[in-house]
Amino acid sequence: MIATLRKFLAVNVILLFALLLIMLICLSFGTVRIGLSDVFRALVSGLRDGDPGGGQGYFTIILSIRLPRILLAAVVGGALSVAGSIFQALLRNPLADPYILGVSSGSAVGAVLAMMLGLAATSLGLPLASFLGAIGTVLIVFNVGRMGRRVHTNTLLLAGVIINAFFGAVLMFLISISKTEALHSIIFWLMGDFSFADYRGLTLASPYVLTGALLAYFLARRLNLIVAGEDEASQLGVDVERVKKYAYALASLITAAAVSVCGLIGFVGLMIPHMIRLILGSDHRLLIPAAALWGAGFLVICDTLARSILAPMELPVGVVTAAFGAPFFIYLLKTRSM
C-alpha cells in the first residue's frame, strides 16, 4: 500500500481514535472498578482546575495512579514499535527486535547496579543508570560491528547477540549476590514493570521517544530504498552507510529511553511492526506512525491485563506480552519456512 496523503491521514486518524478509546476504557479497570462516567468526570476536572483529588478517592486513583501509568505504557509501546520498525528495515528481517543490539542487557545491568548500590531510591537514579548502560552497550556493539567505515549488518547482529549473552551472565551473577529484599524488585524490573510509573518518568522518557520517532519518520523514504537493496539505494543517491548509522543510533536511543523507565518488555517491537506490515504494506512513511499508535494501544491493553487479571496482585507486563508474542513468533517462523 503506497502511503498517499489520504491513506496516511485516514489510517492514523483511525488508530489515534482507537488509542484514545483504549486509554479511556483502561482507566476504569484495576483493583477498584470505576465507571466510565466517573473516569470522564475526573479527566474533565483535572484538565479544568488541575485538582487530582476532587474530594473523592477515585479522582486520585485515576489522575495520580492510573493516568500516568497508562500514558507511560503508551509512550513505551510506541517507542518499542518504532525501534522494531527501524531494526527490521535495516536488518531486512521481520524477526528482528529492538533488543537485537544488546540494548536491553546493557540497560538491565545499569539498572540492577543502581538498585544494589541504593541509587534507585533517588528519582533519577534508576532511569539514568539504565539509560547510561544502554547507550554504553550500543557504543560497544557498534564499534565491534564496524569494519573501517562500513557497518556490516551480519557482524552487528552477531556482536549484539554476543554482548547480550555476556551481560545476561553478568545479570545472573548480580542477582545471585543481591540482598533478598532487592531481589523481587530486580526480577520484576527485568520482566517489565509499570507499578512505579509517575509523571516524572513520563516527562523523562517522552522527549527522547517523540524526538527519535519524528526523526525516524524523516528517514522513512531512505529506509524504503535500503529495504529494496543497498546497491539500488546507493545508485539512487542514498548515503547508505550514513543512514544506517543514523538509524541505528535513533532506534537504540528510543529503546534505551523506554527501557530506562519500565524495564525489559519483549515481543512488542517484534509483533507490532510485522502486524502493521501485513495489513498496510511495507512503506515506512505509513508503517512508522501506524506502528507507533498501535504499539501504544497494545501495550496499554497488556498493562491493564497485567494489573487486573489477578487483582489485587499484579503481574509483570512482560509476562502478558510474552503470552501474545511467543505464539506470534512461532507463527512467523512457520510461515517463513514454508
pLDDT digits 0-9 by tens, 291-309: 999 999 999 999 999 998 8
- SS3 assignment, position 31: coil
Cα–Cα dist 108/143, whole Å: 20
pLDDT averaged over the chain? 83
Range list of H helices, 178-283: 180-190, 199-218, 220-228, 230-235, 240-262, 268-280
Per the structure, the count of domains in the chain is 1
Cα–Cα dist 222/198, whole Å: 37
CATH of the domain at 97: 1.10.3470.10
Beta strands (DSSP E) in 142-195 are 146-147, 150-151
Residue 232 belongs to domain spanning: 5-337
Q: Is residue 19 over pLDDT 50?
A: yes
pLDDT bracket for residue 53 (50, 70, 90)? very low
Separation in Å, CA 202 to CA 147, 243, 252: 38, 29, 18
Torsion from C-alpha of 40, 44, 46, 47, nearest 10 degrees:
140
Q: What is the pLDDT of residue 2?
A: 54
- SS3 assignment, position 232: helix
Q: What is the pLDDT of residue 148?
A: 66
Q: Which residue has the higher pLDDT, 74 or 230?
A: 74
- SS3 assignment, position 253: helix
- SS3 assignment, position 266: coil
Q: Which residue has the higher pLDDT, 138 or 15?
A: 15
**Contact present, 258 and 72 (Cβ < 8 Å):** no
The cell for 285 is: 512513511
Burial class of residue 278 (count of CB atoms within 10 Å of its CB; 0-12, 13-18, 19+): exposed
Q: The whole model's pTM is what?
A: 0.88
Q: Is residue 311 over pLDDT 80?
A: no
pLDDT digits 0-9 by tens, 256-269: 888 888 888 888 98
